Chains A and B, each alone.
Chain A
Amino acid sequence: MYIYAVFVSEKMELEDAANLCSEALGLTAQGGESDYAGVHYEIETSLDDGCSLSSNFAFDYEGDEQTWYTCDEEFSPNAVIVHVRTADPASRVLAFFLDRPELFTLRKPMAVYRGRERIFEGYPPIPEAVLRS
C-alpha cells in the first residue's frame, strides 16, 4: 500500500523548501539535475518513504532555442511542487508537509493505492479502515 500526496508552496523558493524539510527531518536533500526540469530534490527515509521537490516549470526546445513552460498553470512557475510517496501511514515526511499548511497546501486529494488499484481518495485523515485493509 502506498499513500500519494501533492503539495504546492508559493511561499518559498525550491532550495529553501528542500533545506527546511531536510533540516527538520534530519535527512539529506539529494539534489538532481534534469534536462527536462532543471534542479530538483529527493528527501527519503527509504525507497518506500520520501518526497520529490521541484519547481513548477520545465524546459523545452523549439529548434535550437531553449524555451520553458509552467507545468501547473494555476500556480506561478516558481511555485514549489512536492510529490510525497510513502508506504508508511505514520511517515515523518508526509507529516512534515501536512503539519505546515501555512507553507504547503495539498494540491488535490491524497490517494492510497494497493498495487495499481486506487483504494482511497480524499483529504486527511485517511480512514483507519483503509489503512488496515
Chain B
Amino acid sequence: MFDAQSINLSLEILAVAILVTAFLIVSSRSLLFYVRLFSVQSFLLGLVAVVVATGFGEFHILVAAVLTIGVKAIAIPYVLNKIIDRIKVHKEIEFNLNITTSLLVCGLLVILADSVGKPIIDAQVMHALPVSKVLPESIAMMMIGLFIMLARKQAVSQIVGLLTLENGLFLSGLSITYGMPLIVEIGIFFDILVAALILGVFVFRINETFDTVSVDTLRRLKD
C-alpha cells in the first residue's frame, strides 16, 4: 500500500490545511463564510480519518470518518445556515478584539502550541506513532477555537468556535491514538449534533428575547 513516509506527509499537509481554515475563520467577518469554512475544515478532518484508517489498517476509524463528514461537514453547517437565514444577521460588526490583533494572537498561539507539542513528540524516541506529529496543530486548533469564542460576540460565532475546538480535540484524539474506541466516537458525534441543535434553538430564543444575538446582553441575567 503506502509507505510510512508518504502517509506522514499527507497527514501533515492535511493538518496544516485544517489549521489554515481555522485562521481563515478568524480573519473573516461574514457568518456564512464561517460556516462554509467550518464545513471544509470538517471535510478535511474526515480525510485525515480516512488516511489514518487506510494507512494503518484501523478500519473502524472509517466509520468515524463517515460520521465526521456526514455530521460536521453537512448536517451542522446546514442547521447553522438555517439559523443565519432565520435571524437575518450576516455580518459580525463588533469585535472584542479586532481582526488584525486576533490573527497576531492566533499566530502566537500556534507558536505556543508548537513549543508544547514538540517535546511530547520528541519524547517518543522511536517515533512508533507517526501520526502524533500533528499534535501541535491540534493543540493550536483547540486554542484558536476557544479564542474565537472569546473574541467574537455573535452567538453563531460562539457555536463555530466551540465546534472548531471540538475538531481540534478530534484531531488530537486521532494523532495520539489511532482514534478513540468507536463507541466513544459515536457518542461524541451525537453530543456535538445535539449541542449544535440546542445552541441553535438558544440563538433563536436569545434573538426573540433581546432582539439581538450578541452574547453581551446575557449579562443582564446576572442579577
**Is B truly associated with A?**
no
- Give residues in B with beta carbon < 8 Å to A: none
- Give residues in A with beta carbon < 8 Å to B: none
